[in-house]
Amino acid sequence: MSFKNKYFEIAEDAEGDEIIACSDEVLMIPLTSDGQVIFIREPAPAFGRERLLLLPSGTVETGEDLAATAIRELREEIGYRADHLDFLIEIRPWSKYLAVTSHVFVAQGLQPGKLEGDESYAIKLDPHPLAELDSLIQTGELRDARAIAALLVARQRLGNG
């Protein structure tokens, strides 16, 4: 079986197993000077368009530098640019059957700098203190595996956990 749309492709590997291939993405942790993570709320088609708590992210365009993608997506999704953008880690959200890498950056020194995005809906900002990460996970408010993994690593690297 083979299927392709603008987001992913279902194909077979050399052994005949089906995989889902996506373009790589950047995932940003926008962190304010007072320790707030600027999450976003976007509708998730996979879950009945429920507005999930997510980190800003976006597809790496062909030939585009990862940091350039991160800066563009921050400006489009949360309306800020970052004075400091630090690469944190690469994660693979479902390594066995999903061929995609999330390149995670921590963005600090946030300054207004909105660019128009390509979403057909409004993205809502929903800041939460990084110190409340455990509570967000335990209450089920934050369920995105990429965000959880990225934030746990960030908290450890930043000396907050």
Q: Identify the pLDDT of residue 35.
A: 95
Residue 72 to residue 75: CA distance in whole angstroms = 5
3-class state of residue 55 by DSSP: coil
Q: Identify the pLDDT of residue 160.
A: 61
Burial zone of 80 (CB within 10 Å; 0-12 exposed, 13-18 middle, 19+ buried): buried
The reply to whether the predicted model has a pTM over 0.75 is yes
Residue 19 to residue 10: CA distance in whole angstroms = 6
How many CB atoms are located within 10 Å of the residue 155 CB? 17
Q: Where are the beta strands (DSSP E) in 16-75?
A: 18-22, 25-30, 36-44, 50-54, 57-59
Q: Identify the pLDDT of residue 9.
A: 87
Number of C-alpha atoms within 13 angstroms, CB side, residue 138?
4
Q: List, in sequence order, the alpha helices (H) in 20-100.
A: 66-77
Q: Identify the pLDDT of residue 51.
A: 93
Which run of H or of E encompasses 98? Answer: strand 98-99
Q: Identify the pLDDT of residue 40.
A: 97
Q: Identify the pLDDT of residue 161.
A: 52
Strand order through the sheet with 8-12 = 3-4, 8-12, 18-22, 98-99
Query: What are the φ and ψ backbone dihedral angles of 37, each rounded to 5 degrees?
Result: -95, 125
Q: Give the 3-state secondary structure percentages of the chain, helix then strand then coil, rounded to 5.
A: 25, 40, 35
Note down pLDDT in tens along the chain; length 161 residues: 677 877 788 988 889 889 988 899 999 999 999 999 999 999 998 898 999 999 999 999 889 999 999 999 999 999 999 999 999 999 998 888 888 999 999 999 999 999 888 777 889 999 999 999 999 999 999 999 999 999 999 999 988 65
